[in-house]
Every structure is written in structure tokens, then in C-alpha cells.
Amino acid sequence: MYDKAKIWVEGGPGGNGCVSFRREAHVPRGGPDGGDGGHGGDVVLVCDLSKRDLGALKGSKHFRGQRGSHGEGSNRHGARGEERVILVPAGTQATTVDGSAIDLVEPGQRAVVAQGGRGGHGNKRFATSTRQAPRFAENGTKGEADWIELRLKLLADVGLVGLPNAGKSSLLGRLTRAAPKVADYPFTTLSPVLGTIEGEDRQAVVADIPGLIEGAAEGAGLGHEFLAHVERCSMLVHLVDMAPMEGDPVADYETVRAELSAHGAGLERLPELVVLTKRDLIEAERVEAVRAEWVERLGESVLGVLAVSSATGEGLEDLRGRILTELPESPLSGVVADGAPAAEFEAEHRVYRPAGEGGYWVEQEEDGAFRVAGRGVELLFERHDTRNEEALAYLEQRLVEIGVVSALAKAGFRAGDDVRVGEHEFELHV
């Protein structure tokens, strides 16, 4: 099972607006009729129950939305680019390009991880009573792009934890219809396995988490890769071998508890039911005495202590009943990674508006030129061709309207000085 994947996502660029004028016989003043460019396609994660892991993303690392079509004459707007859909299994967490955390847990749930660029306005949009024949239009903007990491955490209610060979796979096979690999050597389970316990009025999804060893939280053994799966669980069933071939059961228990705590996600605070396994390997009269010792040792820090045998079936019905009874009610719908705000769909009409002096800043550079920095102002220049005199005049007008020219004057700017915005440099005469 692949629990992590790193992919490049890139929203499609927006289409350019069109510069066009209506030309028809017997229509002496047709006016501008350039259409808008279409928005670029988004890159979207979609939760799909047919997917079991992130393995399909190992070979395909680059995902791009389609470019928006350019605007055309006769007020024809460009088509929006098609979104790029990436199917992921339930339980996938990721961070969008803009930093929002997402957590997909329900079938069909969607989240945009890279938004497409905005389509540019055609020259029809810039016609006014004083500018009746604009010969410029906006360029489409680039889509968001970056590497993002995806991480899969199983959607399980109960996590079976314990040292290798504690009997987790055997127990899961007896409690549920799951068919995990069972053998007489450690590390038999190389990936988490899910099974379901059916009750009369509820069910519990149980995950067999691969065996932990000392140092797992720092990367030792297999447990480090799968400790994250336990984070979603509402309850732990901690298996301890009553008759290990070597070692001490109490020390084994403490080792696993230490690794859960060292993982740093609050796993040690989950409700815990301790299950002593392989009771058939010790004398029947000693089973209850050993269980009583554990009850006295752990007290109220655990939900209870049971002794079971997967080989003979002893104690399994009691364990099944206790799991269904003790399992907390904690629906996963709407869960968001690390408490961060969930990613939401961008509105169809995206407005990019500089927010006054709070949205940009002005500074004079060593060679005397003035730099205006701020996403809103930079976006204005990204969208227009500064080699077009009409477009440049429009930009100068916008700089006056949003207060940039006043801010430049306060910084010592004089008409004719060089101004830099992003990658653009020009003389400003206002």
C-alpha cells in the first residue's frame, strides 16, 4: 500500500481577451466587440471508493488543467478549460497550493488543489463614454502551480496495535471477514488491513496496523509508516502476547505505549482496550490470575482487560461485544486535517482588486527607480501589454485611482521616474 505521494499540480492558464471591432455593411459605428477569454481548468481531487491506495499516483506525477480558450470577435467568449480530476481513496489528506488543508472522507467529495488562471477581458469591457474604441485587452493569468503532498490515513474506528507477532492478524481474521496474511514470524503484515465487526445496531471498522517496534516513531521498523493510520481511530485495541517466546509482556506493552506517545498526534490519549492474546498457551487456571494482575496494574487508565485466544475462539464474543459497546460516537464527516480550514470551491467570478495602501507597498531601490510590490498591482500589469500605449495609459489611470501614485509621491517620486512592478519597468508621467 502506498500511503504518500508527491505530485505537481498546475491550473490551466486563462485565455486572452480579444481586440476586435464590429465591421458590417451599413453599420458605420460598430464599436468594440472583443470577447473575454475563458478561465483555465482547475486541478481537483475527488474521493473515489474504488481506490484503495495512492499507488496510481506514483507513475503520474504531473497534473495540469486545460487552458481556457481565447476570446473572439462578435462578443464570443472563450470556453473554460476542462478541469483535471485526480481520483483518490477515502482518507486522503493534502494541502492545496494556497495552503488550505483538505481531508477527503466521503464518496464524491471534491476539493480544488490548484485553481486555473482567470480569463482576460476583451476590449468590449474597456469601452466608456470617453474611451469608445479601446485597442487593448487583458491577457489571461497563469494558474496556480506547485508540488503538493498527499497522505492516506485509513478510515477505521478501531486500531489493533501491538508488537510484531502479538496476534493482530489472527485476531482480525476471527473477529471479521478480513483475510490478512497469518504466519509464525514477525512482520507478516506489510500494510494495514481493514475488517468490519457487525453488531445489531452498529458496526465498527477495525484496522490491523503493522507491528510497532521500539523507535518506530523515529523511523525504525515498519510502524513509523503506518502510525498515521491510527490517528483517525476512535479507539485502540492493544494486543499483548501472554506467553511470548522472549521478552516480558509488561515491557512489550510499555514499548508500544511509548511509541504511540512519541508519534506526537495524541494517540496515547485514545480510549484503550487491552487484550491479552494466546491464552491457550498457558494453563487455564492461570489465565484469570494474569488478567487480574493487569487489571490491578492499569486500573482505570484503560477501558478494560480481556484474555482471548484466536486459535480456540475463547473470549472473542466478549471482545466483539466490548468493542461495539465502548466505541465512541465520532463521525468522520467534515473532518479537516490538523484543524485547518477546509478548501472550498472558488466562485465562478473571481475578483482581483488591490486593497489600497494595505494591499501594496512602495520603496525606492538603489538605482533610484521605484518599486511597487503587491499581488493586486502586479496582477494588473501581468494582465496587460505594457508595450501597448493605450493599455499603458489605462494602467496609469488605475494606479491613480487605487492610490499608488499618491504613495509614490510620498516616497519621493517625480513624473518621468522609472517604476517597476513585478518584471515590468516603465517611465511614469503622472
- What's the 3-state SS for the chain? CCCEEEEEEECCCCCCCCCCECCECCECCCCECCCCCCCCCCEEEEECCCCCCCHHHCCCCEEECCCCCCCECCCECCCCCCCEEEEECCCEEEECCCCCEEEECCCCCEEEEECCCCCCCCHHHHCCCCCCCCCCCCCCCCCCEEEEEEEECCCCCEEEECCCCCCHHHHHHHHCCCCCCCCCCCCCCCCCEEEEEECCCCEEEEEECCCCCCCHHHCCCCHHHHHHHHCCCCEEEEEEECCCCCCCHHHHHHHHHHHHHHCCCCHHHCCEEEEEECHHHCCHHHHHHHHHHHHHHHHHHCCEEEECCCCCCCCHHHHHHHHHHHCCCCCCCCCCHHHCCECCCCCCCCCCCCCHHHHCEEEECCCCCEEEECHHHHHHHHCCCCCCHHHHHHHHHHHHHCCHHHHHHHCCCCCCCEEEECCEEEECCC
- pLDDT: which is higher, 336 or 6: 6
Domain 158-326 has CATH 3.40.630.30: no
Above pLDDT 90, what percent of the chain?
43
Highest mean predicted confidence (pLDDT) among 227-231, 305-309, 403-407, 418-422: 305-309
pLDDT mean over 299-325: 94
pTM above 0.75, yes or no: no
pLDDT of residue 351: 43
Average pLDDT of the residues in 345-373: 66
Q: Which of the pair, 42 or 346, is modelled with greater confidence? A: 42
pLDDT confidence of residue 370: 92
Q: Return the higher-pLDDT residue of 219 and 207.
A: 207
Taking residues 23-28, report their average pLDDT.
73
pLDDT at 364 over 80: yes
The predicted structure's pLDDT at residue 316: 94
pLDDT at site 225: 58
Mean pLDDT along residues 61-80: 95
87-101, 153-167, 288-302: least confidently modelled range: 153-167
pLDDT bin (cut points 50, 70, 90) of residue 191 is low
Asked if residue 291 lies in contact with residue 298, where contact means CB atoms within 8 angstroms, the answer is: no
Amino acid (one-letter) located at 83: E
**Is the confidence at residue 333, as pLDDT, over 60?**
no
pLDDT of res. 107:
87
- Mean pLDDT, the chain, rounded, equals 83
Report residue 28's pLDDT band, with 50, 70 and 90 as the boundaries: low
Highest mean pLDDT: which of 96-110, 151-165, 281-295?
281-295
Calculate mean pLDDT across residues 182-206: 66
The domains of the chain are located at 1-152, 158-326, 356-427
Range with lowest mean pLDDT among 79-83, 238-242, 377-381: 377-381
Q: Regarding the domain delimited by 1-152, which CATH topology (the fold level of the hierarchy) does it fall under?
A: Spo0b-associated Gtp-binding Protein; Chain: A, (2.70.210)
CATH ID of 356-427, from 3.40.190.10, 3.30.300.350, 3.40.640.10, 3.40.50.2000: 3.30.300.350
Residue 31: pLDDT band by 50, 70, 90 thresholds?
confident
Half-sphere exposure of 129 (CA within 13 A, CB side): 0
- pLDDT given for residue 215 in this prediction: 46
Of the two residues 217 and 192, the one the predictor is more confident about is 192
255-277 pLDDT per residue, tens: 889 888 887 778 889 999 999 99
Q: Are 242 and 208 in contact (CB under 8 A)?
A: no
Question: pLDDT band at residue 211, thresholds of 50, 70 and 90?
Answer: low
Give me the mean pLDDT over the 118-124 stretch. Answer: 95
Mean pLDDT of 190-219: 69
